[in-house]
Structure 1
């Protein structure tokens, strides 16, 4: 794992200044690659490529970057791992290619020289963001992996093009835009993250997963998609697996074994995150099956039993015979992390599990350099409880428009305080959907009548963020538009599609990348091997969400390795008691950021509304924990960036 950065400036600039700027950009992301660095510049074409190295495979200087191809036509900086590099290298040797070392960087360059960039990308199995400079055609190409596991930011201003693994590197270049994107803030207040292609700054973009950007010197960048989630979903829907569930299980197990085994390739110590849930337990079990000695596993625990999965993880670790380490998180641990969150993420990000994930990565890095994670199982195999909640309540969308509009008006008239009091007399699933502030999420879906809108409303924190913002700006949400253009056979598939394109790269993978890289730990995600993703989309939904619960087929594979009784329990998720902490040990910190003066000074949100929510939360009238966590992280980011 590494960090990359680069500049192309079509205007005159001294070689020294070009190198100095690239060095500053790379230094800002030193945590991504503390083992080495390199700068390559082409003064004539005013190009600079920078690299920070975290040595994982081929620890020798032969793996250093920026790396020039043997033919001398290409130079590349690259962040990630390609797990089938050995197989590709064997194929290239048949053509006469000779390798100096064993790094996947050299293999990728050799493949590009032999087959071209497009054919090479199709062959790669792994996670990657890379920048390739073609010396002959004076063309830069940026590429981001299919699922968005590795990040890549870019900006093009006044004929200067800059890119980097993290936003903080771009900010070290003087042309980087710094105008706050109010539309992105509106989106953030709904989701708790800012998904691509937008960022917190106008004019700074995230290259979307499965896309590449091409820039010919002196021209504007062009972007195209090389792997399409829409095509995967359409193809899977139209060409469903027609074998038995037992046959599907056998094929899935073979794929997951292959993906896991590939991701165990490393020249440094590696281990696995283990929560005791389905996904992480399966990854750990298959790792242990591949290993001749106990693998290292790591988990986080809480004193509050409502959030504590550590005992379950310990039971699974004991059964598998792993070398297990756990850490119990205290409010003080959280307080120690919170001041650094704005630096770790660079833009507002407020999934509360960012705290335990960072602490888990920090602890894990004390023992290993690489850790495998179970992320992706929920999105691929219908694992989230919310899928079933929305599906079971979707009948309301089929009611006549006049009934839906009347229902929307009634729900809008009920205050969150009264909604909390009503929940004791409502059925369980309905109560969960309408509790407290959630009651105001549903009216937009009732008016619209679309399942995608109902799902979007269910996920939203602030369903109407412009009501509390001092400016009225929004950005389009292309993911939901794509979802509505595909004829899915069931509601579960639509929700999984949305999450794979939005929640997965915007929240889950952003959190994993930033927290792991902040501790110089490489995190790998075998369940997001694109071969597994493509196969999962061919499976009939009954194989994934059978018997009223998710991950049916994944659980069946797991139960071949771990007893059912160690796994079957209500899903917890990787949450933290943030609501309690805000009323207790984090109260003083929160009060400072949510004071009327502080809110007024940043000038983003209406102080009166936020103060009202804060007071209601402190008095236990309405649980605004996630909304307030959104606001607190936004305020912290704004103040620390002098907004």
Structure 2
């Protein structure tokens, strides 16, 4: 895993400062690549590529980047891993298109592929995760590319006459041309989704390259370069529609066998590394499946890692320990104190570069920090929920929506009022008291929050709006941000929706392209890279994704339980009694901490005078929610965390700017 950065300046004749600027941009990414760094300059065109390297494959200097192709036409800065690069080498050799190999790095394989096959064919041939900046010296064009599902980040945009690009925004900010202001529309999206979805970023004029896309900028034509639009080489919607049109027609047993074989191949390929490797293990279905299939292919105990909390309802370490014991992994766990978690918060603004408010970012950093003490690469189980129907909303949304349609308007209003009449903490206590009498399907985690969400959706008119409401924090964020309009996103653009056979499949496809790509993968990448840990996500091998979409819905959701098919694979390795329990999120007791140890910190950031002076938010609604939260009348942890993370990011950004100008 690495970091890349670079720039191209139009009409600049003095290039003497370019090497220093390129180094400064690259070195902001040192935690992504602590082992080596380099820059490459095309002085004639004032183009620079910078790179920081975390050595995973070929630890020798032969893997140094930026790297030039054997034919000297291409230069690349590359972040990621190409898991099938040895197969690609074999194809090049069989076609007599291979150079004399100088290393066994996948970077050199990529360059040979671009030279032999061109950009798009090579991207389609790759199985892996990546962000790429490729300079074609012959055609004088720069290509930026990103992997299919969006595991690796890539930002780019124009500042005046300079194109900037990089793995993280901090690299772009290090260039002296950077002058971008806060995009208030993007801020509304943060408040709705707790992240800023692609193609937006927190800065005006700076975009995220969408997953599965590449953009080619002809640097001999500045006008064309400024207006170049990304092109897709792979689309999830097409994989969804193709899979649903050509469904798997075999038996359930054959489906389990097929998925087991593909997951084993994908996980085996992602175990390739020249450095120590392990896995995150929560004891849930996804991470346990990855750990089990790793251990089945390893002659040595696999290293597994988990974080536990003593807070009731937030500790999965005991479950992870039981799975690790059964599999025989070399397991390491750390019980984090509230002080450990709270100590991470000041680091979040610089860790994420733009405001990001999924509070599970804190335990994700802690488990990454733990793993990095022992390994350089960790496999993660992310993606299982979106592919195999794991989220609770997939299980209940259709039933709830169908029942809602039969209720007259006044009844919905009354039901919503009843649900809101009791604070979430009271609902939690009532469910806990009634737990022995409730069927297992009603043994809910955080039932109070779910009651509030249900109250919010009782008045909606269509299923897509229902889903958007379920996945929103602030319901009308534009009314909170001064002078803002909420931009259109995939969730509000029907042209971006897949054609689906069911509401459940539609939700899964939308989550994969929004929540997973813009939240989950961002959270894991930044938290792990802050500790110089590479993470790999084998469930997002596109062959697994395409296979999952061939599977009928009743192989994913059965008898009120999600991930049926994935569970059957896991139960070949782990007894079901170690796994069968209500779904539990990877979180922290943020609601209680905001009323306790975080109260003074939050009060300072949410001070009414400070909010007015900063000029981004109308203070009144924020102060109202803050007071209701402190009084225990409602749990507004998610909405408040959105605002707090922006305020903390704004404070850190201004501090950095002041320091830079001294």
Shorter-chain TM band = over 0.9
1:368 aligns with 2:375: yes
More off after superposition, 434-443 vs 422-431: 422-431
Is 2:615 the counterpart of 1:603?
Answer: yes
CA distance in 2, matches of 1:141, 1:486: 28
Pick one of 347, 352, 363 that aligns with 2:359: 352
- Is 1:475 matched up with 2:477? no
- The equivalent position to 1:491 in structure 2, one of 503, 521, 524, is 503
1:280 equivalenced with 2:316 (yes/no): no
Q: Is the 8 A contact 1:436 1:623 kept in 2?
A: no
Counterpart CA distance in 2 for 1:511 and 1:492 is: 25
* 1:288-437 → structure 2 map (5 Å cutoff): 288-396=295-403, 398-399=405-406, 403-404=408-409, 416=420, 437=452
**SS of structure 2 residue aligned to 1:194:** coil
2:239 partner SS: helix
Shift of 1:173: 1.5
Cα shift readout 1:84-105 (whole Å, capped 9, x = no counterpart): 0111112222234221110000
Match of 1:180 in 2: 182
Q: Tell which deviates more after alignment, 363-372 or 5-14.
A: 5-14
Are 2:513 and 1:501 aligned? yes
Separation (CA, whole Å) in 2 of partners of 1:327 and 1:434: 28
In the other structure, the counterpart of 2:457 is: 442
Superposition map of 1:249-268 within 5 A:
249-268=256-275
- Matching residue of 1:39: 39
Counterpart for residue 577 of structure 2: 565
Distance 1:514 1:233, change over 3 A: same
Contact 2:159/2:180 (8 A) holds in 1: no
Paired position in structure 1 for 2:85: 85
Kindly indicate whether the alpha-carbon contact (under 8 Å) linking 2:424 and 2:448 is maintained by their aligned counterparts in 1: no
1:190 corresponds to:
192
In structure 1, stretches of 5+ residues that fail to align are none
Q: Does the 8 A contact of 1:417 with 1:436 survive in 2?
A: no
CA deviation after TM superposition for structure 1 residue 166, in Å: 0.2
Aligned to 2:343, what secondary structure does the other structure show? helix
8 Å CA contact 2:196, 2:356 repeated in 1? yes
Match of 2:522 among 505, 510, 527: 510
1:612 to 624, 634, 640: 624
How many Å apart are 1:329 and its aligned residue? Answer: 1.5
1:591 aligns with 2:603: yes
Structure 2 residue ranges without an equivalent (≥5)? 656-662
More deviation, 385-394/521-530: 385-394
1:9-88 matches, cutoff 5 A: 9-88=9-88
Report the more deviating stretch, 80-89 or 17-26: 17-26
Partner of 1:621: 633
User: In the aligned structure 2, how far is the partner of 1:144 from the partner of 1:601?
Assistant: 39
Q: Compared with structure 1, are the counterparts of its residues 213 and 283 closer, same or farther at alpha carbon in structure 2 (3 Å cutoff)?
A: same
Distance across 2 between alignment mates of 1:522 and 1:413: 47
Question: 2 CA distance for matches of 1:222 and 1:552?
Answer: 40
**Separation in 2, partners of 1:433, 1:415:** 9
Q: Tell me, what secondary structure is at the counterpart of 2:260?
A: helix
3-state SS of paired residue (2:16): helix
**Greater Cα shift, 150-159 or 139-148:** 150-159
Moved more, 469-478 or 575-584: 469-478
Secondary structure of the 1:5 match is strand
* Structure 1 contact 483–497 (Cα < 8 Å) conserved: no
Give the direction of change, closer, same or farther, for the CA distance of 1:102–1:435 in structure 2 (3 Å limit): closer
Q: Find the aligned partners of 2:541 and 2:133 in 1 and give their Cα distance.
A: 22
Cα shift at 1:110: 0.7
SS of match in other structure, 1:641? helix
User: Which residue number in structure 1 is paired with residue 149 of structure 2?
Assistant: 147
Per the alignment, do residues 407 and 213 of structure 1 end up closer, same or farther by CA in structure 2, a change over 3 Å counting?
farther
Q: Does the 8 A contact of 1:350 with 1:630 survive in 2?
A: yes
Q: Which moved more, 1:78-87 or 1:632-641?
A: 632-641
TM-score by length of 2: 0.92
- Partner of 2:320, secondary structure, is helix
Q: Which residue of structure 2 aligns with residue 200 of structure 1?
A: 202
The answer to which of 47-56 and 632-641 deviates more is 632-641
Change (3 A) 1:334 1:100: same
Equivalent in 164, 169, 173 of residue 167 of structure 1: 169
Distance 2:88 2:330 in 1: 33
Equivalent pair of 2:67/2:108 in contact (CA under 8 Å): yes
Q: CA deviation at 1:483?
A: 7.4
Report what 1:120 is aligned to. 122
Number of residue-to-residue matches in the alignment: 637
Contact 2:423 2:633 in 1 (8 A): no
- 1:530 maps onto 2:542 in alignment: yes
Which has the higher mean CA deviation after the structures are superposed, 469-478 or 289-298? 469-478
